Chain A
């Protein structure tokens, strides 16, 4: 059972950049693409490809929103995204405690 813990880790979220995007959305709630670029220091192309990947998995939803500063693209973690994020954290904790035993 312990051996399968590593394989159980979600490869989509274990990518460092996608993990950071998910973490920021998890803590601070929905953000615009501009916010994510500034906060994480990613390029627009990089962010776009990672957000697309997360959207394909159903972890985030992307919508256009009208704000006071004009139209913006807002990214939000879905219910499934939140579940997967918390599951990943739980599995990592289990993996660590298994390794320490």
Chain B
């Protein structure tokens, strides 16, 4: 029987960080590879729609015009130990950049806790 306070709980100065990145869909492979090189192997990816300053496009079906504002994007979410945060963000920005409008954004927020389901490890050992 293990007590809840196993060695996995680290009372570090800073909590883990969640990184959310909205990027152009064709950049996904590059970003994934860049993060792998840093040793970050896990992430969650979703297909989303959105827009910032990039304008939409017009579709025409038999004379009926529709302006589509939302553009397809990819959202990557990952949680890293605070020490890795800057390297991860830097890798994402570098690999996702094309220099053109619509490259996307990266958001960083604080995560209260993380648990690995299989082993019930908590904190940095879980990410």
Q: A and B bound?
A: no
Task: Please report B residues at the A interface, Cβ cutoff 8 Å.
Answer: none
